[in-house]
Structure 1
Amino acid sequence: MRKGLFNNIRVWNDGHALGYEVTERLLSRSGVEIIRNCRCDAVATAGARVTGVYTSQGLVSADAIVVAAGLGSSRLLGLEDVLFARKGQIVITDRGGIGHAAFDGHLMAASYIAAKRRGSKTAPSRVGLVIDPLKTGQFLLGGTREDNRSDTGTDIESISQIVREAAALYPPLLARRVIRTFSGVRTATRDGLPIVGQHPTIENLVLATGFEGDGICLGPYTGKIVADIITDKVTEPEYSLLAPQRFLAERAAS
């Protein structure tokens, strides 16, 4: 590590997961009916209990509803002051003549973790550096955290900063070429923690949103928590730090 440049963490034996493969595998094993190209417009209620969801294809009735719609959760539940977009730009290098990961695990700057908990809708954009060696021999280099940005383009200033910081930390990257850049939009929360739990005023309405970049890895475990909440197998103290009450209860009282 070059003195005064970075504080970094070497993460050993870290695994990789492709989001679309995880999603398809879970869906294929679940046996649920998937309704595609169907817009959810509003949650249907009767008194203080959820009864279904209004969609572009009509009302879908249900005894329980889970809202796991990312930024779309804002529109469904009025969370515009809680959830916000956080864009991230990513760099992919060439293979460098090898067909396996360059080293085990990955390198992560402390700023990468700290930026997740910034929780500000007005904080300046910054790079939280991660150097992720892929099994193809390529590297994934990331990434920016750009608050209130929902576009999916990349820009030379951000990409250059990522590449400079990555090469300063791991000089062998100077022999690689950048072959692709892309960006995506994460759903962040005001306090930097996801929202998981029962809605404080609507019975059998459960939220699971605001995971930022951790939703794919935490998805299966979150699904179990949500199922346990709906079937009354989990009690509030087990997930109270993530419960939507921290945002919605005070709004209901005002």
Structure 2
Amino acid sequence: MITSTTTSTMKSKDTYEVVVIGGGIIGCACAASLAKAGLKVLIIEPSTIGGGTTAAGMGHLVVMDDNAAELALSSYSLELWRALITEDQREAARHEYMQCGTIWVAADDEEMEAARAKLQILQAHDIACEMLNAEQLRQREPQLRTGLAGGLLVKQDALVYPPKSAQILLELALAHGATLHRQSAIDLLDDGTHRGVKCADGSEIFAQHIVVANGIASTQLVNDLPLRHKKGHLVITDRYPNFIQHQLVELGYIKSAHASDGDSVAFNLQPRPTGQVFIGSSRQFDVTHKEIDTGILSKMLAQATSYVPALADLKAIRTWTGFRAATPDGLPYIGPHPTIQKLWMATGHEGLGITTSLATAEILKDQICQQVSKIAVEPYWPSRAAGQH
């Protein structure tokens, strides 16, 4: 639990090396990486750690390959997740980590071709995967409907419980000397030497660097980078152990996930270590209310049961919504603000924030500390937004 390192009041002009705004999984990962590097870090978060967009994520750790930059970031981050878990086997239980693998389900011959193309890309990057024909798919996941063409199994994809992972990353940051300030950041400041943050309680906190890592809420502080709300619905069932074994995603999900407008749903099913079944996914642009949309929810569930008919017999125990922060090109903003010195962005991860949190933290830390990153950082720079409005 967070006790002595949590502070409710700050002295005016308190100075840190880095202030991280946001206590979701991105902010906590950034704080942990920076604190481990020896920097004096303050995290500003008024609410539950991992209680915002993080809590509305399925926790799927998945390699995505819509473009080279997405593949580089997601595959690097999965390497970091595996290293974090294998470093101490107790960590797997703490994160509720499970290497279940992902099966990209192909409904027909056209989608099987898409699966084969995906296989070639992933294998070229040494990512373990294999094609499944219709019978092999049926053997691995008998709950899937008959008549599907097959699929692609990506073996090292995994899952975690996102709010718990955010909390663990925060604890790691605090263990390396970071401080948590339970306030809302309402404005950015500049005293001529340092960047600063003004909080709702009137406190002003200055630092050499400010990291904005609070998802869609970042638009309240930095409004010159294009970000859109992308609302999603989630459903979780009662406990049905071994109902499915892998994360199951339709290949049509890729088109849905990267659509630039309109409402969409896709089949996305996850086995939880608890025996529960997690059901997604939906996307609605520019919808900002949290209420359940029964129309879109019905479509999402109908899509899910069209792939797994027995889902209709399971008892759902909770339904909720969340907001992803979406950039125009689908890549997050990670790096220096294009015009404000010492201001760093770590937002716009849309549906890949859980997956890419650790890599985001590493490449941001590398830039702040002027170190060379394992992957090229330029594709994620916010400066590209100049051509995206």
Do 1:11 and 1:107's aligned partners in 2 also have CA atoms closer than 8 Å?
no
Structure 2 SS opposite 1:77: coil
Question: What is the alpha-carbon distance in structure 2 between the residues aligned to residue 156 and residue 216 of structure 1?
Answer: 26
User: Does residue 1:87 correspond to 2:231, yes or no?
Assistant: yes
Structure 1 SS opposite 2:306: helix
Cα 1:250–1:50 shift into 2, 3 Å: farther
User: Does residue 1:64 correspond to 2:217, yes or no?
Assistant: no
Structure (1/2) with the larger helix percentage = 2
Partner residue, 1:159: 297
The superposition leaves residues 193-231 of structure 1 with CA deviations (integer Å, 9 ceiling, x where unpaired) of 111111122222111000012212321221111111111
Selected match of 1:35 from 181, 185, 189: 181
Percent same amino acid at aligned positions?
29
Selected match of 1:74 from 199, 219, 244: 219
Partner residue, 2:355: 217
Aligned letter for 1:203?
A: Q
Selected match of 2:321 from 172, 177, 183: 183
Partner residue, 2:280: 142
Selected match of 1:196 from 334, 338, 346: 334
Count of residues in correspondence between the two structures: 241
Structure 2 unaligned residues grouped into runs of 5+: 1-105, 113-150
Partner residue, 1:131: 269
Question: What is the alpha-carbon distance in structure 2 between the residues aligned to residue 50 and residue 41 of structure 1?
Answer: 17
Do 1:194 and 1:209's aligned partners in 2 also have CA atoms closer than 8 Å?
yes
User: Does residue 1:52 correspond to 2:196, yes or no?
Assistant: yes
Selected match of 2:252 from 111, 118, 124: 111
Structure 2 SS opposite 1:238: coil
Partner residue, 1:245: 383
Do 1:50 and 1:65's aligned partners in 2 also have CA atoms closer than 8 Å?
no
Deviation of 1:39 after TM superposition, in Å, equals: 1.9
Question: What is the alpha-carbon distance in structure 1 between the residues aligned to residue 248 and residue 179 of structure 2?
Answer: 40
Do 2:194 and 2:206's aligned partners in 1 also have CA atoms closer than 8 Å?
no
The superposition leaves residues 17-63 of structure 1 with CA deviations (integer Å, 9 ceiling, x where unpaired) of 11111111111111211011x2212222356x752222223210101
Cα 1:169–1:13 shift into 2, 3 Å: farther
Alignment of 1:13-24 (within 5 A): 13-24=156-167
Cα 1:13–1:72 shift into 2, 3 Å: same
Question: What is the alpha-carbon distance in structure 1 between the residues aligned to residue 210 and residue 219 of structure 2?
Answer: 15
Structure 1 unaligned residues grouped into runs of 5+: none
Question: What is the alpha-carbon distance in structure 2 between the residues aligned to residue 95 and residue 11 of structure 1?
Answer: 25
Aligned letter for 1:69?
A: N
